[in-house]
């Protein structure tokens, strides 16, 4: 199973980090070892002092008759060691240490079938930190929609049934601290409720 992630797919978020709007999708990967077990907790890594939450729509892929399509959606967290990422970006290096570490991804348990939505329906999602809304958005705000993302990714790597695509985060990313609580909502329903814990041991 591959976990494909898309960067800078919401204009307001690209702006808040001082990035330009991309003219084609920004693609990176997370390994399956990045996944946090269902129910959490989020454990902050010892090598960063600035881990940010990024809530994202996560689509699962189905490959049928030689064609990959998104078939279900949930929400997830693309946790990002922003200090590490900024240092890597400044040197023009890949982002994996900041984005693909153990415990850098959470995927909600409850997927919703896309064919249960009327065409053009907005898929709303939201993240609360300690009871306050910090991020919210819907799929209509993406610079590249999921079909465009799949077609683009498949120019480089074939997608298989069960692959996941994190489709980018809306504005409002921010740092996590031990003791924080993150609640994720899809279409108004609570999908996850996670506790944030401090680093086990500094690396
Ligand atoms: Zn992201």
Contacts of 187 (CB under 8 A, 6+ apart): 112, 123, 124, 125
Taking the centre of ligand 1 as the mean of its atom positions, its distance from the CA of residue 54, in whole angstroms, is 5
User: Domain 3-197 is in which class?
Assistant: alpha beta
| Residue 28 near residue 127, CB atoms below 8 Å | no
Residue 116 Cα to ligand 1 middle (Å):
26
Q: How far is the CA of 65 from the centre of ligand 1 (A)?
A: 30
Task: Identify the bridge partners of residue 68 per DSSP, sorted by sequence position.
Answer: 63
Tell me what pLDDT residue 86 has: 96
Taking the centre of ligand 1 as the mean of its atom positions, its distance from the CA of residue 169, in whole angstroms, is 5
| Mean per-residue pLDDT over the chain, rounded | 95
Gap from CA of 13 to ligand 1 centroid (Å): 10
Contact between residue 42 and residue 197 where contact means Cβ atoms under 8 Å apart: yes
Q: What is the pLDDT of residue 2?
A: 97
Confidence (pLDDT) at 117: 87
Ligand 1 midpoint to CA 8 (Å): 8
Distance in Å, CA 168 to ligand 1 centroid: 5
pLDDT tens digits, residue range 107-160? 999 899 999 988 888 999 999 999 999 999 999 999 999 999 999 999 999 999
Report the C-alpha gap between 123 and 114 in whole angstroms: 10
Do the bridges between strand 181-186 and strand 189-197 make them parallel or antiparallel, or are there none, so unpaired?
Answer: antiparallel
Domains of the chain, by residue range, sit at: 3-197
pTM of the model: 0.95
Q: What is the Å distance from ligand 1's center to 118 Cα?
A: 27
């Amino acid at each position: 199973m591959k976990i494909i992630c898309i960067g800078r797919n919401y204009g307001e978020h690209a702006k808040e980090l001082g990035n330009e709007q991309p003219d084609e999708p920004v693609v990176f990967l997370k390994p399956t070892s990045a996944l946090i077990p269902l129910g959490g907790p989020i454990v902050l890594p010892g090598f960063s002092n600035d881990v940010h939450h990024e809530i994202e729509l996560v689509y699962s892929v189905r490959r049928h008759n030689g064609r990959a399509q998104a078939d279900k959606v949930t929400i997830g967290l693309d946790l990002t060691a922003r200090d590490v990422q900024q240092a890597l970006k400044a040197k023009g290096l890949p982002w994996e240490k900041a984005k693909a570490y153990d415990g850098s991804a959470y995927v909600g348990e409850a997927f919703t079938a896309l064919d249960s939505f009327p065409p053009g329906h907005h898929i709303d999602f939201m993240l609360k930190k300690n009871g306050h809304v910090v991020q919210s958005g819907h799929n209509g705000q993406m610079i590249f929609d999921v079909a465009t993302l799949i077609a683009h990714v498949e120019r480089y790597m074939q997608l298989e049934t069960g692959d996941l695509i994190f489709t980018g985060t809306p504005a409002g990313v921010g740092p996590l601290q031990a003791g924080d609580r993150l609640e994720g909502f899809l279409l108004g329903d609570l999908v996850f409720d996670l506790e944030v814990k401090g680093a086990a041991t500094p690396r």
